[in-house]
Structure 1
């Protein structure tokens, strides 16, 4: 069996199916058999078959998930807690929501990164076509008119000739760089580096993403029956954002000094404004888990709006940059050419 971790979507689907059958009163063993048969073949079938074999030998679901090596440690820990507290159904449903929300946020981030990259690649392609294919034509025109090609145009054409001559090498190098970056991004260190870059470039967006993930994690753990101290400890391990981790540590420190959770979380800035007031009310009324769930949903909506705004702002900006670059290149050619033709006339 492959030890490659499952995606957020695959985990969410598994949790949703299992939660549905457990809620319907179907035994764990029979539920896994149904999921296995539904998968029919491939990775999902093999993973479920392995889980079923371990459960049939007497392992708990949490132990079976851990032994498989394809489920995140966080999910395994939550399932163990759910089994111990008798809230497996609720935990599975919360895990489904948690990983669906994570996937939604990841999809939004990919959209925010991919669209500008595609635009930039198209810009580079247009500029290269002009340099490699169009400018050499003007070079011939200058020669026919008996005029010297302007130095700027000569430099650009020389660059284009170099690109044409070493096109295969450039393509290979670019492909290698792309593959290396993709492999690096898939690693834990690469994801942390990307998260750090996102924090610096889009500070507010990175803050919203981290706060949304924190609220979602807290909602899941509180609904599983954890107290706020345990939930904070586990949430800390899930956070990539350094500022959020520092604020969680300060919150725990304030609570150790006797300050209530709701006050500490507001004082450290983890949640402020209306979110802070919602948490205060939820803490007093015993509905903190549902409050955190609503806050997580609000942040998810806010992230989508922010990313939409970024993309809307980037599109005209990139088009304007392309227009300026192409315009400058053409001006560098056309102005001297017009001067030569005027002199001839």
Structure 2
């Protein structure tokens, strides 16, 4: 069977695909006919290749989950959930739930990207301004000092020497910047890099809360989906736990599984292991008593995402003026270290 070689689809693309398949199935059209309709409507060569791979497998096996596997661009979690939906005869409901899940993942990724992009731009501008000052502006003032028979002292002298060193070793500096750019791409674009970055962020004091909220949101969304699909809590926990790369959160999940094996109810196990606390734990207790713990998980996922969006928005609103203030102070100190002595020299002439 033909397999595509493209990279995994983004969360937004997965949400769109799941939503279309769900609509097709709810309209009483089979998955094979739905894929054929989507093939007629698409103009993208990549989409056509993916849909053709799915259709080829569907025509030969009649199993939709195998078609997703042969396409080679769908995550393992989605393949497992589709397989469960087919076995339970609830594929339309599973695809609809997957669409909601990946829409939430897409919103989460967009929020994280927005929160990180602006501070990175500001930090880059700060570094660029300081480099221009110490490598281009300070040498001009040095010439002015020399014409007056004086030389720079103190902070201005140290910054000037630093600028001259950077000019002398500019190729080394360029190589370091390229290395840092490649390192950022590794952390952002590769799965192993994202896992390592997640492990680092989960332990840093100022990013731990964001990492925990993100892990809670993904886990709750996954648990809601697997419980609605008819899986037991133990089986669902294994699948939902794979959605998070936070090692500390996974340790809590492992502890929760041990409590479940000892006979502890799901809501209490999640609470005692620290997976969910506070309001989330109370929601689970109520859901457990009313037999709607899957709905409680869905509410927790929405709540965690709202809290994460608010926390990132607040962080950006604090970081933005802070970076501007730091840039102003740094530039001001550099200029004052040059101008104040110069004004003293001119006043004494």
TM-score for both structures, normalised by structure 1:
0.94
CA separation of 1:180/1:270 partners in 2, compared to 1, >3 Å: closer, same or farther? closer
Partner of 1:2: 5
Q: CA deviation at 1:4?
A: 1.5
Residues 206-285 of structure 1: pairs in structure 2 closer than 5 A:
206-285=211-290
SS of corresponding position for 1:57: helix
Q: CA deviation at 1:184?
A: 4.0
Partner of 1:290: 295
Unaligned runs of 5+ in 2: none
* Conserved 8 A contact 2:53-2:70: no
Partner of 1:43: 46
Residues 106-121 of structure 1: pairs in structure 2 closer than 5 A:
106-121=109-124
Residues 270-279 or 65-74, more deviating: 270-279
Which string of whole-angstrom CA distances, capped at 9 and with x for unpartnered residues, describes residues 57-109 of structure 1?
A: 12400011112211111100000000000110111011111111112112222
| Alignment equivalent of 1:316, drawn from 318, 321, 336 | 321
| Alignment equivalent of 1:163, drawn from 162, 166, 171 | 166
Q: CA deviation at 1:166?
A: 4.8
Which string of whole-angstrom CA distances, capped at 9 and with x for unpartnered residues, describes residues 182-236 of structure 1?
A: 0343222211111122212312221111111110000111111112121112122
* Conserved 8 A contact 2:221-2:298: yes
Partner of 2:37: 34
* Conserved 8 A contact 2:142-2:151: no
Residues 143-152 or 270-279, more deviating: 143-152
CA separation of 1:149/1:250 partners in 2, compared to 1, >3 Å: closer, same or farther? closer
Which string of whole-angstrom CA distances, capped at 9 and with x for unpartnered residues, describes residues 143-183 of structure 1?
A: 22222232543332233234345546534542343134303
CA RMSD of aligned residues (A): 1.7
| Alignment equivalent of 1:326, drawn from 318, 327, 331 | 331
- For the residues of structure 1 that align with 2:163 and 2:278, how far apart are their CA atoms? 56
Which string of whole-angstrom CA distances, capped at 9 and with x for unpartnered residues, describes residues 95-128 of structure 1?
A: 1111111121122222222221111000111112
Partner of 2:24: 21
Residues 118-133 of structure 1: pairs in structure 2 closer than 5 A:
118-133=121-136
Partner of 1:83: 86
* Conserved 8 A contact 2:82-2:94: yes
* Conserved 8 A contact 2:187-2:197: no
Partner of 1:98: 101
Which string of whole-angstrom CA distances, capped at 9 and with x for unpartnered residues, describes residues 240-277 of structure 1?
A: 12222122122221122222111211122212222212
- For the residues of structure 1 that align with 2:278 and 2:152, how far apart are their CA atoms? 64
Which string of whole-angstrom CA distances, capped at 9 and with x for unpartnered residues, describes residues 20-74 of structure 1?
A: 1111111211100111122223211110011011111124000111122111111
Residues 49-58 or 335-344, more deviating: 335-344
SS of corresponding position for 2:242: helix
Equivalent pairs counted in the alignment come to 344
- For the residues of structure 1 that align with 2:6 and 2:44, how far apart are their CA atoms? 17
- For the residues of structure 1 that align with 2:45 and 2:181, how far apart are their CA atoms? 29
CA separation of 1:180/1:148 partners in 2, compared to 1, >3 Å: closer, same or farther? closer
